[in-house]
Amino acid sequence: MARLGVGLIGTGFMGKAHALAFSAAASVFDLDRRPHLAVLADADARRAEACAERWGFEASTGDWRALIAEPRVEVVAITTPNHLHAEMALAALAAGKAVYCEKPMATGLADARRMAEAARGRRTLLGYNYLRGPAIGLAKSMIAAGELGEIVAFKGRFAEDYMADPAVPHSWRCVRALAGSGALGDLGSHLIGFALHLVGEVQAVSGEVSTVIAERSTARGKAPVENDDQVHAVLRFANGARGVIDISRVAWGYKNHLAVEITGTKGTLAFNQERLNELRLFRKGDAGFATILAGPQHPPYGAFSPAAGHQLGYGDLKTAEVGHLLAGLAGSDALYPNFAAGLVIERIAAAIERASTERRWVDLAEL
Amino acid sequence: MARLGVGLIGTGFMGKAHALAFSAAASVFDLDRRPHLAVLADADARRAEACAERWGFEASTGDWRALIAEPRVEVVAITTPNHLHAEMALAALAAGKAVYCEKPMATGLADARRMAEAARGRRTLLGYNYLRGPAIGLAKSMIAAGELGEIVAFKGRFAEDYMADPAVPHSWRCVRALAGSGALGDLGSHLIGFALHLVGEVQAVSGEVSTVIAERSTARGKAPVENDDQVHAVLRFANGARGVIDISRVAWGYKNHLAVEITGTKGTLAFNQERLNELRLFRKGDAGFATILAGPQHPPYGAFSPAAGHQLGYGDLKTAEVGHLLAGLAGSDALYPNFAAGLVIERIAAAIERASTERRWVDLAEL
Amino acid sequence: MARLGVGLIGTGFMGKAHALAFSAAASVFDLDRRPHLAVLADADARRAEACAERWGFEASTGDWRALIAEPRVEVVAITTPNHLHAEMALAALAAGKAVYCEKPMATGLADARRMAEAARGRRTLLGYNYLRGPAIGLAKSMIAAGELGEIVAFKGRFAEDYMADPAVPHSWRCVRALAGSGALGDLGSHLIGFALHLVGEVQAVSGEVSTVIAERSTARGKAPVENDDQVHAVLRFANGARGVIDISRVAWGYKNHLAVEITGTKGTLAFNQERLNELRLFRKGDAGFATILAGPQHPPYGAFSPAAGHQLGYGDLKTAEVGHLLAGLAGSDALYPNFAAGLVIERIAAAIERASTERRWVDLAEL
Amino acid sequence: MARLGVGLIGTGFMGKAHALAFSAAASVFDLDRRPHLAVLADADARRAEACAERWGFEASTGDWRALIAEPRVEVVAITTPNHLHAEMALAALAAGKAVYCEKPMATGLADARRMAEAARGRRTLLGYNYLRGPAIGLAKSMIAAGELGEIVAFKGRFAEDYMADPAVPHSWRCVRALAGSGALGDLGSHLIGFALHLVGEVQAVSGEVSTVIAERSTARGKAPVENDDQVHAVLRFANGARGVIDISRVAWGYKNHLAVEITGTKGTLAFNQERLNELRLFRKGDAGFATILAGPQHPPYGAFSPAAGHQLGYGDLKTAEVGHLLAGLAGSDALYPNFAAGLVIERIAAAIERASTERRWVDLAEL
């Protein structure tokens, strides 16, 4: 089987997730080319070397530019902190490589625009792996087939509590230059991605971003939190649907509560990432909401298991994302969300921030 | 036991619910005065007579003004269509009677203001009976005791599908002069009541009301729907909390989905009227959300049953509301929500409509 | 409207529940005769008098035999402790009265047999009010209509934790002569009632009853618990269905968890009394289990509310039971479960106890 | 990193699951030796070759005996149909290899005994991967720490509907010689494994196995179903706890409903494999059942993700099982369940069948 050379930058949670997904993809899916784990880069060269051995990479480096320059590397996977995405992605694109970058694509709209510009006509993919779940695939296909009728309402939420405790110390996540926005970028980008994928283009927004814990502790006293802890907004979609969203990193009790609900003139469906193998569905005439358990009839589930109810996990979604990447590189799938699609997400996030500052509805056409 | 003369206007669903609640209250609660079902009024005098016999009223009339004039009647309960509330309530107040009126209090802000004005210093109560549930009582007491810390976010929703089908015919509910606003008044008033009761004063709103089904059938062709099918809005509370709400009468699959969630700096609680005997709670340090089943330790549950898990129903909440009314008339409780509190709900609803029309944030101080 | 004279014995939780139900029934249902609260009896005559005033009874007495002798009393409702049921019911039947008795009908099989014998050709009803819920009615009608196909399996459970804490003191509930069996009689009788109502005749049983907390405290030291805390059994039904049941009064976390599930060759339905307004249903071909919320199309819901999702409560089920009683006394319904049906429940409970003692399957024909 | 030679027999669903798990384990866990995918065997040599390339095996063969004879192969993984397990496992053990075999270990008690005998002092592991889930690990550790007090009751269920439709054709699953028992072996073995793991030794059983669909279609007409579709039984544990179990492959609506609940004198916990990342817990004094979402504090979750709520899937449990296997082979873990433990499961299953046939309680000591 032909091979595809992979270069991976970053060895954190996401780096490991990518490594596992590239390893598994060829066994799970029917691919033309098997990923070859060519080079692993980390600023800490020794860590790069240790992880390379553990994860099965052929080589390692402490210099990400060397990885990009490596001829064997055909696709560059970027899993570094957000503020490094733009520079690395631009360099990889300049070197003619395909780019697979974690979300959010950048820490500001200017960088996102440059990345989208450079990616024109090129193969790029952003790591919005929650879009790969079997329940989301089912939702998307039902909506596309008109089974919900015309979409009239969207409700979206992404709630976590990882910064709910005021005692959680200050970190790069609180610094605008390193993280970009707060909950909006980290969590909201996923939610906006769902809204776009399932409902369509957003036309205008109103709402507020707010910082609940204004200061957090550092080793040398308190430092200000420079970005949002929570977001509350209303959306108007181009197709006339309306929506509300709320996003929070200070919502006690929630761990990965990315929940959406979509109502059309013929039915309603609801999803929550904390139960990613389930879709709740009500169609006009039904006796009650049905809870559908993912099974092999809901791609990509069948590639993992022939029996329903066996549950896909987070890692499987990443493997499915890599499967999509590889199919896209082979030309059979249009990669989504690529950098152009990612820019749309960033523009909506920026519009919400502007609406909050200017206390008015902001049209997406303004950005 | 001393008696309290009750006059009830209206014999529909709400009329029957009031009749049952007045009958049950003395057996359920320890009251000073037993309600005496004195007079029942309905525009259809024969129907009034038949219902009076069935429900145990001493007398009946086809003329609601006669009921108000009746000396035995000390409290007037109004369960007629919304557009009649103002006239009846004002007449009853003018006659020196206490007034117990179904929600929404009026079909427009002007009427609501007049009613609140006339009610100053008088005993009035609005029929927001969902506030009487044991889970809401528990939520309120926990918040008041600071168990959630400072409140930072509110999420509220009231979804039903009673008009989701475009085939649902045109009715008084679609006519501004008869119903006032649509989902906003019918459902949203309950939701706003919850927000005020649990979080506190609302300072400003932004959002949109929208009509999904623009026309509905009448016997003589199509007629326009003059009010909203759904509402999507963001709220800023005086205490700094932010919120999102959505309200819909066209949300397929939902029957009485009045759901709220409140997050503070120490925890989160969640409630849904479709499971009114449950409260979901997460407090900082907890391993997961707990589902609390209502029991006798959660008033007014104990007045109905000494054993947890036996479930109160809609009728019991109405009985509890009447219990509160009677305690208030006896002077032991401050009646809530009275007409003054009802006016606050109406002002918020009006602010949402204005925000939608003017596409900007509207401060409550403007109304 | 003609009246029906009611005599009620007992003023505890069940006495109050009966009083409320008799008061409400005429308003809720379309009856031929309105119940008239004639006489209330309690061994404590002063308590009887106080409750009579509060609950609206015309007269009271400290002597239940006087109540039975009272000509105005046509139906005698018995809500006293279990060991008194037999004597009172037999006396009432001997006096020619209809009898409405709380469950379990007796504390032993001999008494139950005498009661059933005396009730032949007479109107009797036992207080298995959970059978009146809208979800159970829906389940029953679906099964009867063959919508589940042939029934092949039953799973039943009644779990509560009211005696889970070893610190719960000794009481009449632990004494064989006063309570009869323990969890088996108190809770299991409801569960067996569900099994009979929904699946049909039980042919044989195997299983064990066990006492988890062997002794409990009294004012004068420890006393033995003379009956079961929990029951685990398998059932074979006459129609070939098999089942498992478990019953417990020491199951931490449960308050009123009377849960049944029935599978047929065409589908499965599931119910839990802690959410009495819901029925879960899966039919061959369905995408997932649907959660059906009770509404007016599910009797007796519609008699209480025209709108789905408004929730019936425990008291409403009691009112529905009284409605059934009154319809039965008027001749329009066959009363169920009457004493004959109650005896079947008692025989199954006795068979489980015998199976436990003799460690073998026991055929119902043996008892 | 040192390598461990793996030989895998079988290329079906389980074969693929093993291949993926062996690939992932070294990246997920901190291992001494990296699994080396040495040889893949399938009766169809061409299929073996194709899968070997796709899954990354170095070699393939159509002869499983050749695989066992291969010196590079240190551990033999068996994923073939049940009736082949015994012969292959015995051969691998005879060749001095470690054996990792899918469940159920054999199709009859005699084979299981021979396998356990041959495995004495040797390293074996059975593929009961559901035991590896984070919620089960949490449950086990809480019980071991006494957090539930003394265990008094077990409720277990494994329901699926893969043969609920009478139209499902006859297959090897219906043939005693090929499958052994039916639902009892396929599903019940998992459930019994849970009971043993969480509660402990089983002393005696009573109950029934039954065949709901007596015949199924083949290409040449109907053929009899030779084993059970469902099982209903009661258990007595050596520690005094009692239990009920039901097992079904004809339970409409269920896909992988392996659900257990355990009550002790201090609390209750509940689990369902269809939501494998959740554990429901109630401890004496709690306000309600808490739903705990798996997170990094619940091994092996943390090896996969540092953030709670991200969900492990079926494949991750298999990877965790391989991690356990590798740790066991390295000497750091006692492998569980090995063949000796598997035999205990088989004896309990056999006891249930005997109890059903002889219609009496069967002591485990009898087998």
**C297 contact partners, CB below 8 Å, separation of at least 6:** none
Q: How confident is the model at residue A57 (pLDDT cuts 50, 70, 90)?
A: very high
Note the pLDDT of residue C333: 76
* Residue C207 to chain B, least CA–CA distance (Å): 27
Mark yes or no for CB contact D289/B287 under 8 Å.
no
Chain B residues in contact with C276 by the CB 8 A cut-off are 311
Q: Is A35 on the interface with B (CB under 8 A)?
A: no
B254 chain-A contacts, CB cut-off 8 A: 268
Query: A290 vs C288: CB contact, 8 Å cut-off?
Result: yes
* B-to-D residue pairs, Cβ atoms closer than 8 angstroms: 25
Output the pLDDT for position B247. Answer: 98
Secondary structure string (H, E, C) spanning chain B: CEEEEEEEECCCHHHHHHHHHHHHHHHHCCCCEEEEEEEEECCCHHHHHHHHHHHCCCEEECCHHHHHHCCCCCEEEECCCHHHHHHHHHHHHHCCCEEEECCCCCCCHHHHHHHHHHCCCCCEEECCHHHHCHHHHHHHHHHHCCCCCCEEEEEEEEECCCCCCCCCCCCHHHCHHHHCCCHHHHHHHHHHHHHHHHCCCEEEEEEEEECCCCEEEECCEEEECCCCCEEEEEEEECCCCEEEEEEECCCCCCCCEEEEEEEECCEEEEEEHHHCCEEEEEECCCCEEEEEECCCCCCCHHHHCCCCCCCCCHHHHHHHHHHHHHHHHCCCCCCCCCHHHHHHHHHHHHHHHHHHHHCECEEHHHC
> Is the CB of C290 less than 8 angstroms away from the CB of A293?
no
**Hey, which residues 298-317 in chain B have their CB within 8 Å of chain C?**
304-316
Q: Does A297 touch chain C (CB under 8 A)?
A: no
- Chain C hits for B309, Cβ within 8 Å: 160, 254-257, 273-274
C236 touches chain D (CB under 8 A): yes
Q: Find chain C residues with C-beta within 8 A of A281's C-beta.
A: 287-288
Contacts of A303 in chain D (CB under 8 A): none
What number of other Cβ atoms are within 10 A of residue C113's Cβ?
17
- Confirm if D269 and D279 have CB atoms less than 8 A apart: yes
pLDDT tens-digit profile, chain B (367 residues): 789 999 999 999 999 999 999 999 999 998 889 999 999 999 999 999 999 999 999 999 999 999 999 999 999 999 999 999 999 999 999 999 999 999 999 999 999 999 999 999 999 999 999 999 999 999 999 999 999 999 999 999 999 999 999 999 999 999 999 999 999 999 999 999 999 999 999 999 999 999 999 999 999 999 999 999 999 999 999 999 999 999 999 999 999 999 999 999 999 999 999 999 999 999 999 999 999 999 999 999 999 999 999 999 999 999 999 999 999 999 877 999 999 999 999 999 999 999 999 999 999 999 9
Cβ of D292 within 8 Å of Cβ of B288? The answer is yes
Strands (E), chain A: 2-9, 33-41, 59-61, 75-78, 98-101, 124-126, 151-159, 202-210, 215-218, 221-224, 230-237, 242-248, 257-264, 267-272, 278-283, 288-293, 362-363
Question: Quick one: average pLDDT of A260-277?
Answer: 98
**CB of A286 within 8 Å of any CB in chain C?**
yes
* C230 and D CB contact within 8 Å: yes
Positions in chain C short of pLDDT 70: none
User: Dihedral angle at the C-alpha atoms of C300, B302, C256, C193, nearest 10 degrees?
Assistant: -50
Tell the residue number behind the tokens 């030291």, with chain if given: C221
Mutate to test the interface with D, among A23, A57, A186, A314 (most CBs of D within 10 A): A314
Work out the average pLDDT over D240-247: 98
pLDDT (0 to 100) of residue A34:
92
- Which residues does chain D have within 8 Å of residue B292's beta carbon, measured at their own beta carbons? 287-288
Q: What is the pLDDT of residue D145?
A: 98
pLDDT in tens, D319-338: 999 999 999 999 877 999 99
Q: Which of B242, B256, B257, B282 to mutate to test the interface with A (most CBs of A within 10 A)?
A: B242
pLDDT digit string (tens) for A269-296? 999 999 999 999 999 999 999 999 999 9
Check if D251 contacts C (Cβ < 8 Å).
yes
Q: Which chains touch C (3 or more CB pairs under 8 A)?
A: A, B, D
At residue A324, the pLDDT reads 97
Q: Is B284 within 8 Å of A232 when comparing Cβ atoms? A: no
Mean per-residue pLDDT, A297-317: 97
Which chain A residues are closer than 8 Å to B267 by Cβ? 252-253
Out of B1, B13, B273, name the one closest to residue C53 (CB): B1
Q: What is the pLDDT of residue C32?
A: 86
Q: Is D130 on the interface with C (CB under 8 A)?
A: no
Cis peptide before C81 (omega within 30 of 0): no
Average pLDDT value for residue range A307-317: 97
Reported as a pLDDT band with limits 50, 70 and 90, residue A70 is: very high
Predicted confidence at residue A333, as pLDDT, reads: 75
pLDDT surpasses 80 at D230? yes
Residue C225 with chain D: CB contacts under 8 Å: none
Q: Which of A17, A27, A306 sits opposite D20 (nearest CB)?
A: A27
Would the pLDDT of A237 be above 80? Answer: yes
Chains adjacent to B (≥3 CB pairs closer than 8 angstroms) = A, C, D
Residue of chain A whose Cα is closest to the Cα of D36:
A56
Distance (Å) from the alpha carbon of D363 to chain A's nearest alpha carbon: 34
pLDDT score for D190: 98
Measured between beta carbons, which residues in chain B are less than 8 angstroms from residue A265? 164, 166, 212, 250
Task: Please judge whether B281 and D287 are an interchain contact, meaning their C-beta atoms are less than 8 angstroms apart.
Answer: yes
Selection from A171, B292, A268, C54 nearest residue D285 by Cα: B292
Q: Which residue of C has its CA nearest to A297?
A: C287
Q: What is the ipTM of this complex?
A: 0.96
Give the residue-averaged pLDDT of D267-283: 98
User: What CA–CA distance (Å, rounded) separates B306 from D126?
Assistant: 51
CB distance from B7 to chain A under 8 Å?
Answer: no
Which domains are assigned to chain D?
2-130 (3.40.50.720), 131-310+339-362 (3.30.360.10)
Q: What is the dihedral of CA D166, D167, D168, D171, to 10 degrees?
A: 90
Q: What is the pLDDT of residue A91?
A: 98
From chain B, the residues in CB contact with A282 under 8 A are: 252-253
User: Rounded to 5 degrees, what are φ and ψ at A8?
Assistant: -120, 125
Q: What is the mean pLDDT of chain D?
A: 97
What integer pLDDT is reported at residue D332 of this predicted model?
A: 74
Q: How far is C268 from chain B (nearest CA, A)?
A: 21
Q: Cβ of C289 under 8 Å from any chain D Cβ?
A: yes
Q: Name chain C contacts of A291, Cβ cutoff 8 Å.
A: 288-291
Q: Is the pLDDT of residue A1 over 80?
A: no
A290 touching C, CB under 8 A? yes
Q: Give the model confidence (pLDDT) of A334-347 as tens digits.
A: 999 999 999 999 99
For residue C296, the 8-state DSSP code is: T
d(CA D56, CA C183): 59
Give the residue on A whose Cα is nearest the Cα of C138: A287
Q: What are B146-191's pLDDT values in tens digits? A: 999 999 999 999 999 999 999 999 999 999 999 999 999 999 999 9
pLDDT-based confidence at A78, cuts 50/70/90? Answer: very high
